[in-house]
Amino acid sequence: MRVLQILPELRLGGVERGTVDLAKFLREKGHHSVVVSAGGPLAEELVSSGVVHYPLPVHRKSPWTIWQSTQALAKIIRNEKIDVLHARSRVPALIAYWASRKTQVPFVTTCHGFYRRHFFSRIMGWGQRVIVASHVIGKRMRDDFGVPYERIRFIPRGVDPKEFQWKRAEKDRAEQRPLRSGQAIIGIIGRLTPIKGHPLFLKAMARVTRVFPNVKIHIIGDAPKPQYKEELLMLVKRLGLTPFVEFLGTRYDIPQALSRLSVLAAPSVGEEAFGRVVIEAGACGTPVVATRIGGFVDILEDEKTGLLVPDDPRLLADAVLRILKDPALANRLAWALRDKVEKEFGLERMCGKTLEVYEEAVTRKKILIIKLSALGDVILSVPSIRALRCHFPDARISVLVGRKSRRLLRNSPYVDDIFVYEDAPRQKRLERFVKLARLLAKENFDIVVDLQNNRTSHLLAFLSGARTRAGHANGKWSFLLNRRTKEAVSLLSPLDHQFQVLRLLGIEVGDKRLELWSDKIEDQKVGGFLESQWVAPSQTLVGLNPGSSARWPTKQWPVENFAKLCDELAKRNIRVVITGSTEDRSLADELLRMTRNKPIDAVGKTSVTELVALVKRCKVFVSSDSAPMHIAASADRPLVALFGPTDPRRHLVPPSRCRVLWKEIPCSPCYLRSCPVGLICMKKITVQEVLDATLSFLDDLSKIPAAQSQEADSRETLSVLF
């Protein structure tokens, strides 16, 4: 794997040390490791270990510098063929985020601190995976910055115990003599900033020096703001600590400095993200006293691996004195912390888990499929969804569909999540759209596959923030997509039209089967319904769908023809069940009034998935161009499909046995929703033709008497496809 880490500078600090350790680990394990920073003393160590380092001013907040660094970083990513991009601070994260979008490389962040609650801090939550070093940081990223829990990965920082000199005797040979005053060295390590609690530490040390008058106090770390160091020097003078305190500044021999300490104090007064120096102290056998705050709680267990105290100078001093006076306690705490460091905070463990996050970001994509249209169109999208699952077996696949379609994919083995697009009244449409766009943006999708291809879907794809957005270049705001295929000039089937989009992702589809799923409860409910209608297992059941979409009344075969077909089938001892939604209720009532032999009425009595179970019980299904027609095709039921104003070659994926009745007249297909000539194309399909097609599919034709139809033979040309 080829990994690029980016951080502001390579100076002394836990962030910098962790970056260097991980970069060297990756290099040793045979991965290609690259670091981008503004440079610093640790850069030489990186380069000497075989890690590639690029100096860029990624620590500067100037908009112009950020833009320039973004362009330069994108070029580095392409030249080094980077697989994953890892940012460790806010300004570098912003640069890396835009570079990742330009190059479509996965983007990971690590949160090293408690960021203030403003928009700029949210950048650290934009990674496909967000690594946190402590539970308290993870909770903050979730609660304050809205990072979904499933994107957060808890990886404590780690150290290599072999790099630290162990100064303790064996576990069972603790020195029993208390330390003499001249032997004690108490230290604090970290940048000179208010959060680190230096004033608290110095006030506690004023109490300690009264008991150990010759104690030494080491303050190690640089001062980002010189004025703050001056304030600390004034406090040292005021507390009378000048003879005891040494400000040692920046040190790069931290293991050696820690090994000389009798006690390490970690008196932070603000939420500490982790506290790497604590595990470094544990690695070399220095006992630790820390305030009970932030990430320290994840490392230390009070009285077992260290001492935890409130941010009170008196209590901090008492804890330090306990360790100085009781070498057995110091030895026990040091050994326990060393064991914990080896088990939970080892460098190998940290780097291995980070590498797992990289692999997850590269291989486990988050994919959104947009298909907002009618039930039938969603059914036709199933082969594409299946193909995406086969191509990305480890991906988390979500679909965005309309409310009526959500149940269709509920039992699909290819879908992990379903988002619902709510069609709203005009006055609330914008509000709901914005709410949905914000929800999708939080999901941090890697790929959006736009199978809807209209302005709404293109805009939602763009606002989701996905790096890859694939769809058709159709002139309907398709400039918002970054992978586009031209609209087909030649006539394409509905599946081949969708597969053009999948090819943009390198996916070739061979399996064109439609699928739908019903669960056991739905099957049982349909079985109970048919039993209540006295349908015997031996009876032949034919399904009729007399309705059509309310938006497409021109697809409607005359209701009186359906009524005649019901009676003709009933003459042959064939049970008929009519299907439809509640919107078809008035049409069904009209059909029932026209029939002499009443069919089973299932209109409005089944959900979409229960309709799937019902269609599976039918020997043959008769329908015009509508969602139930596609359900029958999905169930691989013998299908008689009635077409008029639409072209079956563009809208039908046939089951293994299918008969299409489509009259060849000059104006068809017209795709009009209001017919100026009186629905000639549908009326020319005769009852006898539909009856003959239905009977031809039934298994035992010898038991069915010859048709006694009064319908006249049609002399019109009939298109029989598939």
The three-class DSSP label of residue 154 is strand
The three-class DSSP label of residue 116 is coil
Q: What is the pLDDT of residue 162?
A: 77
| Residue matched to tokens 């089951």 | 655
Helix ranges (DSSP H) in 573-651: 585-594, 608-616, 627-634, 648-651
Fold of 520-719: Rossmann fold (3.40.50)
The three-class DSSP label of residue 425 is coil
Amino acid, res. 446: D
Query: Which of the 8 DSSP states describes residue 557?
Result: P
Fold of 161-345: Rossmann fold (3.40.50)
Looking at the domain that runs over 2-154, which CATH code has it been given?
3.40.50.2000
The whole-angstrom separation of Cα 337 and Cα 282 is: 5
Q: Tell me: the pLDDT tens digits for 290-346?
A: 999 878 888 899 999 999 999 999 999 999 999 999 999 999 999 999 999 988 888
CA dihedral for 516, 522, 527, 532, sign (positive or negative): negative
- Give the torsion through C-alpha atoms of 652, 657, 661, 664, to 10 deg: 70
Residue 135 has pLDDT above 90, yes or no: no
The three-class DSSP label of residue 3 is strand
Q: Checking DSSP bridges between strand 307-309 and strand 288-291, what pairing results, if any? A: parallel
Read off the pLDDT of each residue in 663-691 and give the average, rounded to a whole number.
87
Q: What is the pLDDT of residue 313?
A: 95
Which residues belong to CATH 3.40.50.2000 in the chain?
A: 2-154, 161-345, 364-503, 520-719
Q: What is the pLDDT of residue 706?
A: 42
pTM of the model: 0.75
Q: Tell me: the pLDDT tens digits for 557-614?
A: 999 999 999 999 999 889 999 999 888 899 999 999 999 888 999 999 998 889 999 9
- Give the torsion through C-alpha atoms of 611, 617, 622, 623, to 10 deg: 10
Q: What is the pLDDT of residue 167?
A: 66
The whole-angstrom separation of Cα 636 and Cα 578 is: 18
Check: CB of residue 36 under 8 Å from CB of residue 76: yes
Check: CB of residue 624 under 8 Å from CB of residue 642: yes
Q: Tell me: the pLDDT tens digits for 622-664?
A: 999 988 999 999 999 999 999 999 889 888 888 889 999 998 8
Lowest mean pLDDT among 33-37, 246-250, 429-433, 548-552: 548-552
Residue 489 has pLDDT above 80, yes or no: no
Nearest residue to 684 via CA among 663, 666, 712, 669 = 663
Q: What is the pLDDT of residue 378?
A: 92
Please give the mean pLDDT across all residues of the chain: 88
Amino acid, res. 531: E
Helix ranges (DSSP H) in 212-295: 226-238, 254-259, 276-284
Angle made by CA atoms 235, 239, 245, in degrees to the nearest 5: 75
Assigned token pair, 325: 């006076």
CATH superfamily of 364-503: Glycogen Phosphorylase B; (3.40.50.2000)
Assigned token pair, 459: 């805009």
Residue 712 has pLDDT above 70, yes or no: no
Q: What is the pLDDT of residue 443?
A: 86
The whole-angstrom separation of Cα 295 and Cα 299 is: 7
User: E strands within 325-446?
Assistant: 366-370, 396-402, 417-421
Read off the pLDDT of each residue in 170-197 and give the average, rounded to a whole number.
71
Q: Is the peptide bond between 669 and the residue preceding it cis, with omega within 30 degrees of 0?
A: yes
Read off the pLDDT of each residue in 88-100 and give the average, rounded to a whole number.
94
Q: Would you give the distance in Å from CA 669 to the centre of its chain?
A: 42
Assigned token pair, 342: 């080896």
For residues 319-351, one letter each, b for 16 or more C-beta atoms within 10 angstroms of the residue's C-beta and e for the rest, the string is bbbbbbebbebbbbbbbbbbebbeeebbbeebb
Q: Quote the longest CA-to-CA distance of the chain.
A: 119
User: E strands within 115-262?
Assistant: 129-132, 152-154, 185-189, 216-220, 245-249
The whole-angstrom separation of Cα 469 and Cα 485 is: 11
Nearest residue to 610 via CA among 515, 514, 513, 527 = 527
Residues in the chain: 722
The whole-angstrom separation of Cα 648 and Cα 671 is: 12
Residue 476 has pLDDT above 90, yes or no: no
The three-class DSSP label of residue 524 is helix
Read off the pLDDT of each residue in 665-673 and give the average, rounded to a whole number.
85
Inter-helix orientation angle 198-211/313-325, to 10°: 50
Check: CB of residue 554 under 8 Å from CB of residue 674: yes
The whole-angstrom separation of Cα 439 and Cα 429 is: 15
The whole-angstrom separation of Cα 599 and Cα 649 is: 32
The three-class DSSP label of residue 304 is coil
Q: Checking DSSP bridges between strand 263-266 and strand 718-719, what pairing results, if any? A: unpaired
